[in-house]
Amino acid sequence: MSKILVVFFSPKGETYFPDGYKVVEKGNAQIIAEKAKEILKADMFEIRAEQSYPQSYNECCKVAKEEHMMGKRPKLLGYMQNLDGYDDIVLVYPCWWGTMPMPVFTFLEHYDLKNKNIFPICTHEGSGMGNSESDLNQICDGANVCAGLAIQGATAQNCDTKLKSYLKVNGLV
């Protein structure tokens, strides 16, 4: 039986919530990734960019926009040796500029994802999945990119029912 891998990208620092900005020790995507790991009894890997993102929400947005507009692929601090043994990958990330953050692109493009099932879960504050599902289909050649789950970031702490339902519908639990 194949093991499940939860991969996430989730910067810390100042984060936007509907009622204003708050500094967080853990990003919303990390909160959801940890919940998924626990539910699935899965392995977990955090995508971390070599260059840290600014702690200020607005400054982070500027950097993320520049990376997106220029198609940059930021260097990462590290990779998993390989993804052998994992058929199912739960991918958790915030929606930045209508898609996944560029470090997620860097990570995914590093591997041969043929015959892997990818289950995208995106945090947002109004944009939903954005274009991330179509972007995943473009860069994950030969992978089965499943319909994603969009979770409003402000509800990450209380998303257990929604998350369990998504994982169950997709046959992971």
Q: How does pLDDT run across 31-73, given as a tens digit for each residue? A: 999 999 999 999 999 999 999 999 999 999 999 999 999 999 9
Mean pLDDT of the chain, nearest integer: 96
The domain 3-169 is classified under which CATH number: 3.90.1150.10, 3.40.50.970, 3.40.50.360, 3.65.10.10?
A: 3.40.50.360
The full set of domain ranges for the chain reads 3-169
User: Which pLDDT score is estimated for 18?
Assistant: 86
Q: Does residue 138 have a pLDDT over 80?
A: yes
For residue 1, name the pLDDT band (cuts at 50, 70, 90): low
- The pLDDT tens digits for 149-172 are 999 999 999 999 999 999 999 999
Q: Does residue 137 have a pLDDT over 90?
A: yes
Tokens of 112: 């041969």
User: Which pLDDT score is estimated for 16?
Assistant: 87
Total-model pTM: 0.96
